[in-house]
Structure 1
Amino acid sequence: MEGNQAFTLTQLNADDAKSLSTLMVSNQDRFQRFFPMTLAQNLTEAASQAFILLKNVEFDLGTELTFAIRERTSDQVAGLVILKNIDRTIRQAEIAYCIGAKYEGKGWTSNAVAQIAQRAFKTEKLKSLQILVHVSNLASIQVAKNCGFQFIKIIPEAHTSPNENPLDMLLYERHTHH
């Protein structure tokens, strides 16, 4: 999926292990609260190699689709957008996303999430997409709004971060227009 942006959006590949691990480790404080599992699986280059293999199996099976947001000039992994919790029966999925601090504020995340939403509706034939976000994560809330997601409700204790009590999360949804 090419954009005319300073980033590209593609599936992860084996060559991304070093770049992905570097992204995760250098943004550890940023990601540990809402991306704890992904962070834990990418603390070394070897761990990232295993993570990428797993993500590509899931991608091929259609159970979870993980995309890399890449800086176009360097091909470095700047962030991730994940289409997860895909339920093909009710045609619904969740979109999760993260981006490195040095790439924040460029509009890349909103643009990437919009592209993945479009793919979810067109290619994956889903009808409903969800984003779960913590009330403190203002940048993430803005991404949801930028991409046409509407606030639905607060889900109590929907996310547990390491060494914290379960957190209430805001549910945003977007539906296909068909």
Structure 2
Amino acid sequence: MVAKFDAFEINPIHDGDAWKVCDFIIANEDRLKRYFPKTLEQNLNPTLSQLFVEQKVKQFENDEEFLFTLKHSETRALAGLIYIKELDWNTKQGEFAYCIGYPFEGQGLTSKAIQHLSDYAFTILGLETLQIIAHKDNLPSVKVALKTNFKWVKTLINEFTPIGEAPLDMELYELNNQNTRKDLAGF
């Protein structure tokens, strides 16, 4: 377990998560199709989810990408997924991507998970800079970035193209390890 807060816990993805991931993705398909089309496509049935989870476990073990689950500690319900991706070990930089299930939105769970995983990324993984890239109209994601002390850096022109849409400008937020040690220590 990476962290536990309130009645929830954050864990690295593991082989036993395939069914829960499939159920989570299907139940949240409408909210995932715009910003998580690849994750959605790779989890449309239990067989695909098993392959997805196996791949993510290997990527985790090889320090290529880190996928974490956010689960309710008692019921084991999967509340969300959080990635640390786009890793650059030379510059010690990574990017967060996250999604929360409908029943769990608006509870501050994503912000708390990002706070804990920022600490994990800095202390365990040795990263120095973390990024969140969000569309300005994705207000919950922007709120997570700001609430967790990420600072707006710039607008990335035509950064992301959702399926069937024109390219979107995205907002880049960053958190640097040197500036956050004091903030996270009191968390």
Under TM normalisation by the shorter chain, which class is it?
A: over 0.9
Q: 1:112-167: per-residue Cα shift (whole Å, max 9, x none)?
A: 11111111111111111110001111001111111110011110111111111111
Partner of 2:50: 49
Partner of 2:185: none
Partner of 2:125: 124
Letter in 1 for 2:36: F
Moved over 6 A (4+): none
Count of paired positions: 178
Aligned residues of 2:66 and 2:85 also touching (Cα < 8 A): yes
Residue 2 of structure 1: how far off its partner (Å):
3.0
Provide the identity percentage.
35
Q: TM-score, normalised by structure 2?
A: 0.92
Q: TM-score, normalised by structure 1?
A: 0.97
- Where do 1:1-178 residues align within 5 Å? 1-177=2-178
Q: 1:2-40: per-residue Cα shift (whole Å, max 9, x none)?
A: 323121100122222111111111111100111111111
**Counterpart-to-counterpart distance in 1, 2:46 and 2:8:** 22
**Structure 1 segments unaligned to the other structure (5+ residues):** none
Letter in 1 for 2:69: A
**Structure 2 segments unaligned to the other structure (5+ residues):** 180-187
* Aligned alpha-carbon RMSD (Å): 1.1
Residue 76 of structure 1: how far off its partner (Å):
2.1
Aligned residues of 1:16 and 1:77 also touching (Cα < 8 A): no
SS, match of residue 124 in structure 1: coil
Q: 1:40-59: per-residue Cα shift (whole Å, max 9, x none)?
A: 11111111111110000000
